[in-house]
Amino acid sequence: MKYQSQSVAKLYFIAAIGLFIGQILFGVTIGLQYVWGDFLFPYIPFNVARMVHTNLLIVWLLFGFMGASYYLVPEESERELYAPWLAKLMFWIFLIAGALTILGYLLVPYAGLAQLTMNDLLPTMGREFLEQPTITKVGIVIVALAFLFNIGMTVLTGRKTVVTIVLLTGLAGLAVFFLFAFYNPVNVVMDKYFWWWVVHLWVEGVWELIMASILAFVLIKITGVDREVIEKWLYIIIAMTLITGIIGTGHHYFWIGTPGYWQWFGSIFSALEPIPFFMMTLFAFNMVNRRRREHPNKVATLWALGTAVMAFLGAGVWGFLHTLAPVNYYTHGTQITAAHGHMAFYGAYVMIVLTIISYAMPIMRGRTANGPKSQVMEMWSFWLMTVSMVFITLFLTGAGILQVYLQRYSDTPLGFMVVQDKIELFYWLREIAGLVFLVGLIVYVMSFFTKHDDEVTA
Amino acid sequence: MREGGASPPCFTMNSTVKQSEITTRYHLPGDFAIWVFIFAELLVFGVFFLSYAFYRASHVEMFNMYQDTLDRESGAINTLLLITSSYFVVRAVSAIKSGDARRCVNWLAAALAGGGGFLVIKSLEFADKFSHGISLGTNTFYMFYLSMTFFHFMHVILGMIILAAVLFKARAGGYSAEEYTGVETGASYWHMVDLVWIVLFPLVYVIR
């Protein structure tokens, strides 16, 4: 670790992993509730557990992005963090606010939570993924602004690199687009229209910039390839991300009451959204093949290559599968969407955060890389989680194809619940894969606690 | 060829010499990255053109009818402007290759003027369409016409920004007869902008 203040990242990473565990526990719970409807009823109903599952994901990824920024920005900017105390303060505020929100979801009925947090003063609750009480949303904005200020001042007063500029652009976009969470038009078309400005422009826009810059940083460090080469790739990737991703928002506007031309815009631009992800795959493998040094942290390299491949498959290929309007006419809102969502989030964002944790955590704990025993264990967790996620995706895709056919395409379409009964087998298989994922996660956490008598301290 | 046919060994020798000449003379102009970008851009336009062609195939009457409302004269003038402007950047590249930065700057300025002329004429054309109440939602022909020409319009602007950046660097003495990759990079992008228009204009304005 070159700068003392980088160590605040450790707090963020530990919290991220903690919340990740929570997310997966709720994930296997709702997976079971798919086939055993009143499991844990009435204590944790499906809608609440699902909300906790998705909200925890978003929050822990944000912790991961912030940790990644606090770690890589001082090193890139060649100076200490502008205000390490602010980073620590914001950590606790964010963690406590997040924990209170989750407890609110679990302990108070949602309508009661809305009343308790005075939602009617500025109504923002009740929208998927943005269920947080208004007060929590205000808290998120404050944390995001303080974080941006801290990172921004460090970047602007230090050495400016393409990596930090792209990262800062992504983070600024993240904060700006979140503001649409406060815009809650009465017209339900407009409401959905702008809801996507948060949801889509995050995950298919600015988050991709954050992902690409973190990946570039890790690749610079582990491969030793010239910064100029890596920066050139980064430029092309973000250009393609923005060209395809911004108007690609249109693939959510097919059937919500927007003008018909969105079917063309959405189909054409989003059909090209796999390109930046494919470029990221080429980029990662190219850089690793052209490496100038053998970094002892093998498992970080594995995560970096893994995220590039899985992001392309999950976000690129599985996204393309149902992005064309004539296809989406049948697949909209089926298990195909769930399949895509799982692999895209895991491949692109979970894995990029685990990549930077894998690279930075040993350094923050005083060694270049973990010892072989710990690395092998982490590699096991990589394969367990990644392969089980592939199976979760395949089972959900199978369920989705059957669902589309039986419920929407066949000559004698069946009702929703009848179809759900018929595809139950896929949900059981998905649940088994989910449990294997949980095992992988446990192995991952254990890899942090292996004895380090054989650690590498080059 | 005839010479080679007469004496095979000589032909072989000649062709080897030519091959090496070819590899040294025809290097990839400009930065490799811009070519990745150019092909990605061409792919986007290509998907647009194909969508247009496929949809038109089943709505020929409607497309022909509304195509007649387009202003072919200004489209043709714009085609000439872009081709001429592309010629100017070719002159700019050859100027810098012979080490003449001042002439390079002048040619780039002329190319920019061509691009500016295109933007003015295209804006007038858009203004005319909008004043007739035509929008993206009017019908699928106008949807394609407006979105493809507007998307191209934005690329003309981006191309001009790139050329302007090259111009300023050239004026500050940033390029020489030995190092002119940046000029070629800008020129390559500008040719792409031109090429797209050369396909777009006949496809949307003329072919029926």
The pLDDT tens digits of the residues spanning A369-387 come to: 999 999 999 999 999 999 9
Contact B48 A268 (CB under 8 A): yes
Instruction: With CB atoms and an 8 Å threshold, state whether A272 touches B44.
Output: yes
ipTM score over 0.95, yes or no: no
What's the pLDDT tens digit per position in A241-284?
998 999 999 999 999 999 999 999 999 999 999 999 999 999 99
Q: What is the per-residue pLDDT for B11?
A: 42
At residue B26 the predicted structure's pLDDT band, cuts being 50, 70 and 90, is low
Tokens 């940046």 correspond to B182
Residues in Cβ contact with A183 at an 8 Å cutoff, skipping those fewer than 6 apart: A194
Q: Report pLDDT for B3.
A: 41
Q: Is A243's CB within 8 Å of B137's CB? A: no
What's the rounded mean pLDDT across residues A230-247? 92
Q: How far apart are CA B52 and CA B56, in angstroms?
A: 6
Of B196, B177, B162, nearest in space to B89 by CA: B162
Q: Burial, A362: exposed, middle or buried (Cβ in 10 Å; 0-12, 13-18, 19+)?
A: buried
Alpha-carbon span B35 to B38, nearest angstrom = 5
**What is the C-alpha separation between B144 and A263, in angstroms, rounded?**
12
Peptide bond into A42 cis (omega under 30): yes
Determine whether the interchain pair A261/B147 forms a contact, defined as Cβ–Cβ distance below 8 Å.
yes
pLDDT > 70? residue A395: yes
Mutation choice for A interface testing from B35, B36, B54, B192 by most A CBs within 10 A = B36
Share of chain A above pLDDT 90, in %: 96
Neighbour count for residue A122 (Cβ, 10 Å): 13
**A264 closest CB neighbour out of B32, B43, B143:** B143
Report the residue count for chain A: 458
- Contact between A235 and B31 using a beta-carbon 8 Å cutoff: no
Contact B82, B201 (CB under 8 A): no
Q: How far is CA A388 from CA A19, A236, A380, A393, in A?
A: 20, 32, 12, 9
Residue numbers in A near B143 (CB within 8 A): 260-261, 264
pLDDT of the residue at B31: 86
- Mean pLDDT, residues A149-159 taken together: 97
| Reported pTM | 0.90
For residue A455, pLDDT over 80 is answered with no
Q: How much of chain B, in percent, has pLDDT values that exceed 90?
A: 80
pLDDT for the residue A99: 96
Q: At what angle do helices A298-311 and A351-364 cross, to 10 degrees?
A: 170
In this complex, which of B33, B44, B47 lies closest to A232 when CB atoms are compared?
A: B33
Contact B41, B34 (CB under 8 A): no
Please check whether residue B133 touches A, CB under 8 A. no
User: What are the Cα distances from residue B153, in Å, to B73, B147, B176, B184, B203?
Assistant: 17, 10, 31, 22, 16
- As a whole number, the mean pLDDT across chain B is 89
- A209, A177 in Cβ contact below 8 A? no
Nearest Cα residue in chain B from A259: B137
Chain position carrying tokens 């557990």: A49
The amino acid sitting at A54 is T
